Amino acid sequence: MIKLFRCSFVAGLLSLGLALMSPPAAQAQAQGTDTILVLDASGSMWGQVDGQSKISAARQATDAILSKWNPADRLGVMVYGHRSKGDCKDIELMVPVGKFDPVRIKAAVDGINPKGRTPIADSLRAAAEALHSTENKGNVILVSDGIETCAPDPCGAAAELKKAGIGFTAHVIGLDVADPAAKSQLQCIARATGGVYLDAGNAASLTGALTKAVAATQGTKVASEAPPKPAAADPYLGKNIRGVARLAEGLDPISDEDVNWGIFKRAGDEKGEHVNTFYGAPFADNIAPGDYLVEVTYRQLKREFPLKVEKGKPAALDVILDAGYVTSEGAVAGGAGKVDDVVWQVSDKGGKLVAQEYDAVPRFVLAAGNYTLTLTKGQSKTSKPFSVAAGDTSNVQLALDVGKLIVTSTYAEGGPKVEKDIVVAVYQPAKADGDEGEKVAQDYDAESRFDLPSGSYDVTAVVGEAKGTVRAEVKSGAPTRINVNLNAGVVGIKTDGAQEIDILNAERDLNDERKRVSASYDPATNVALPAGDYVAVAIYADGQKVEKPFSIAAGKRQTVEIKQ
């Protein structure tokens, strides 16, 4: 199959060579440029940059360049690693080079689900094959976050394509590339084809890099960020210990600053005295000869490995973590965008909590096995079981049923607003037997906010002795605003030294008694009361009682003075 592909590709190059000798008039008919955007959809594209996945950053950047694309320039999209986890042939020309169609391109990029490997060399060959049938200038814009995982030399493949004389130029963007070997490889591809190399660390810088790469395809001079020649110095020179970690047997080394190497003296099969801790992977450093246990910590994962360092002999520690990456882009049911202010929890098959994160897009490193992922926002929660295979990169999709309930309160219809000393509680609807429904949440702010599953709720606001209740209907993915009218006012009562102030309803019941509404044990008090008629009773130390009637109007303040 590979032989057949190469034969057809060579034949295509010969055909293109004949086309290049065509009369100038025929070539003059070509307009604009032809570009293929080659996107990395390997599993590592679920990694995070500034709180979002790399694939989300790529989608945003693609949207940005589509809005500014020159319609005279043709654009296609090629993707690798989006259909199969271990297939080096997973390369698809999702949108062939043709008349600019932003709707089709956006739909293709939005539908990418990263999961596979990184066949950069064969993707470049496939892109060149797709471009060679046109008389227009051919460009590739390659966006990748890591090193080739299928072919031995993508830089050599790029140089061959350039040498074939087909006008092939690759502009390369390294997205959050920390591994020096991966960056050197991507820079070499750009250098070998006469293209530019650009670094990008997040969505904003990726948009800027893509914009520059597009300008380069149109003939604008853009400065490459790749050095003229790759650095030749060995960064590990003079070190006697080198550490490399892999998620699974046969995979590329991990390049991540979050890997920690704790070195402990060996006490039998146990950890003894702590000697040193090295940070980042891969790493190289110096350590005294001896027998050690190395505790490798990678985010939520922890593994131990033996290490023997002999005098005059460099020690190479190449460890297999038997783990995988897991992330999730939680969505709100019925709404747009990702959830924020959330809690992510991973539990093992026995229900034990093994990891917890609070980022909008979490990243877990988990040992191979079975787990449950739970997403919580406020009072809303959803869970989903999933499995991790060694070397796997998984995105667990979760949709959360959650809406925002925003509650304010006023003393009277139209105001004034309640600014302090308020308690807002949310209940399930009252039961049929008249009992109050179960309390769901409570807050104390003048504008209280609750994240709740969609449904009906009874919302109660209490200030002093005033209380109001409103029924609220919450919808997932949308804000719901309600106001609770307390129909109340405030009374300020001052006495000349009373030890107790009681507030009673003015109206007597059938037993000729007045119900006590409020009590204070200070000589002065301020209290919110429902609109109505009341009696203030000041009680002094000698037992004397002095009464004074008063009325409360909604939204108004009443002052009462009592003297003995």
Residue 341 maps to which CATH number? 2.60.40.3080
Residues 6 or more apart whose Cβ sits within 8 Å of residue 104: 95
Q: Are residues 148 and 118 in the same domain?
A: yes
Distance of CA 255 to the CA centre of its chain: 20
The SS3 of residue 212 is helix
Q: Are residues 517 and 424 in the same domain?
A: no
Residue 480 falls within a domain, yes or no?
yes
Q: Please write the tens of the pLDDT for every residue from 3-55.
A: 333 334 333 433 333 333 333 333 333 457 899 999 999 888 888 888 788 99
Q: Are residues 64 and 122 in the same domain?
A: yes
- Give residue 119's pLDDT: 92
Counting residues of the chain whose pLDDT is more than 90, the rounded percentage is: 67
Name the helix (H) or strand (E) containing 36: strand 33-40
Residue 224 falls within a domain, yes or no?
no
Residue 69 falls within a domain, yes or no?
yes
Four-point Cα dihedral 539, 542, 543, 546, nearest 10: -40
Q: Please write the tens of the pLDDT for every residue from 468-482.
A: 999 999 999 999 999
Q: Are residues 407 and 478 in the same domain?
A: yes
Counting residues of the chain whose pLDDT is more than 70, the rounded percentage is: 92
Domain end marker among 321, 353, 371: 321
- Give residue 5's pLDDT: 36
Residues 6 or more apart whose Cβ sits within 8 Å of residue 303: 295, 296, 319, 321, 322
Q: Are residues 298 and 245 in the same domain?
A: yes
**Mean pLDDT score, 367-393:** 95
Q: Are residues 162 and 36 in the same domain?
A: yes
- Give residue 541's pLDDT: 95
Residue 20 falls within a domain, yes or no?
no
What backbone phi and psi angles, to 5 degrees, belong to 244?
-130, 135
Q: Which domain holds residue 480?
A: 403-485
User: What is the average pLDDT value for the chain, to the nearest integer?
Assistant: 89
Q: Are residues 175 and 70 in the same domain?
A: yes
Residue 156 falls within a domain, yes or no?
yes
Q: Please write the tens of the pLDDT for every residue from 227-250.
A: 887 555 566 678 999 999 999 887
Q: Are residues 432 and 522 in the same domain?
A: no
Residue that wins the pLDDT comparison between 383 and 234: 383
- Give residue 182's pLDDT: 84
**Between β-strands 301-309 and 290-298, what pairing exists: parallel, antiparallel or unpaired?**
antiparallel
**Mean pLDDT score, 114-140:** 86
Query: Is a pLDDT exceeding 80 seen at residue 446?
Result: yes
The SS3 of residue 219 is coil
**Mean pLDDT score, 517-528:** 97
The CATH number of the domain where 471 resides is what?
Answer: 2.60.40.1120
> Peptide bond before 416: cis, by omega within 30 degrees of 0?
yes
- Count how many domains the chain has: 5
Q: Are residues 466 and 543 in the same domain?
A: no
Domain end marker among 289, 321, 353: 321
**Mean pLDDT score, 448-453:** 97
Residues 6 or more apart whose Cβ sits within 8 Å of residue 455: 473, 474
Q: Are residues 114 and 85 in the same domain?
A: yes
**Between β-strands 423-427 and 455-463, what pairing exists: parallel, antiparallel or unpaired?**
antiparallel
- Terminus-to-terminus CA distance in the chain, angstroms? 107
Query: Is a pLDDT exceeding 80 seen at residue 374?
Result: yes
The CATH number of the domain where 118 resides is what?
Answer: 3.40.50.410
Give whole-number Cα distances, 513 to 502, 506, 518, in Å. Answer: 14, 10, 15
Q: Are residues 335 and 456 in the same domain?
A: no
Q: Which of 107, 97, 105 lies closest to 139, judged by CA? A: 97
Q: Are residues 382 and 431 in the same domain?
A: no
Count of residues for the chain?
Answer: 564
Measured between alpha carbons, how far is 129 from 110 in angstroms, rounded to an integer? 25
- Give residue 21's pLDDT: 38
The SS3 of residue 52 is strand
Residue 21 falls within a domain, yes or no?
no
Measured between alpha carbons, how far is 138 from 74 in angstroms, rounded to an integer? 10
The CATH number of the domain where 293 resides is what?
Answer: 2.60.40
Integer-rounded Cα Rg, in Å, for the chain is 35
Domain end marker among 452, 485, 518: 485
- Give residue 233's pLDDT: 59
Query: Is a pLDDT exceeding 90 seen at residue 223?
Result: yes
Residue that wins the pLDDT comparison between 203 and 274: 274
**Mean pLDDT score, 400-421:** 96
Residue that wins the pLDDT comparison between 177 and 536: 536
The amino acid that residue 372 corresponds to is: T
Q: Please write the tens of the pLDDT for every residue from 282-329.
A: 899 999 999 999 999 999 999 999 999 999 888 989 999 999 999 998
Measured between alpha carbons, how far is 138 from 164 in angstroms, rounded to an integer? 13
What backbone phi and psi angles, to 5 degrees, belong to 26?
-70, -40
Residue 309 falls within a domain, yes or no?
yes
The amino acid that residue 492 corresponds to is: G
Kindly report the CA angle at 270 between 265 and 276, in degrees rounded to 5? 30
- Give residue 7's pLDDT: 38
Total Cβ atoms within 10 A of residue 341: 9
Name the helix (H) or strand (E) containing 156: helix 154-163
- Give residue 232's pLDDT: 53
Residue 305 falls within a domain, yes or no?
yes
Query: Is a pLDDT exceeding 70 seen at residue 505?
Result: yes
- Give residue 84's pLDDT: 84
Ranking 433-442, 453-462, 545-554 by mean pLDDT, the lowest is 433-442
Residue that wins the pLDDT comparison between 499 and 180: 499
